[in-house]
Structure 1
Amino acid sequence: MAQNYSHEYSNFPSATIELTNYMDIDSTVAPIISRIYQLQSNGDYTGANDLIEENRELLKPYSVDMSALNRIIEEIYNTQLYALGSSQQIFISDAEPAVDVPEGSFWQQEY
């Protein structure tokens, strides 16, 4: 049975799932985060966005954006497809099952 894996963000199962270590806000970025929140609360979204862009690489491990969430969701989806396609079923009956059985399944005749 061919699986329709999604590959917009994920290369699984062709490649391993990329591990990402997101971090809680610490003293390294706390002043920048506080300034971003202050700008947002004052309605200066352009200033907040500019500050984020200026510090994008520094903030990257502290930020879970939609791209990261989409990648995580796609990795889970592909892992589910892989797991479902990897399972085997064993049928034990007097006669060979008349239904379609998944590829890789076994039929054992009862004695």
Structure 2
Amino acid sequence: MNTPRIEVGSPDAFWWRAGALLEQLVLLRPLPARNEYFAYGVAIAYIRASGDTVDSSYEPWRDLITDIRALRLTVLDVADRLRSMRPAWVSSRRLLVDAARCPYPSGRRQARSLSVPGP
């Protein structure tokens, strides 16, 4: 398995790091109480500070933290679950940005045709 390294800047490495942070805060229990709430807040803050966003509603996070505590998930599974919590509008916007950065001419043409004019 080729796990991401800290210095790797790919999107998969970002989600892997966020998943590892969440898992460790839940399992290591650094506080006397309410470690799950702390892990939830720190993970959302990390994701937002990195320029992305996730759904912060209670239910998906409760299920994710319950699965982490039960040791049902690996770090890569946690990263996949976090990635799946992105709102749909963020995913479509990211595709446009990635297409605009594409080094291939067809990617640039596609990005120009899909881009939405600014205000």
Q: TM-score, normalised by structure 2?
A: 0.27
Structure richer in helix, relative to its length: 2
User: Which structure has the larger Rg?
Assistant: 1
More strand, by proportion: 1
- Of structures 1 and 2, the one with the larger relative CO (CA 8 A, separation 6+) is 1
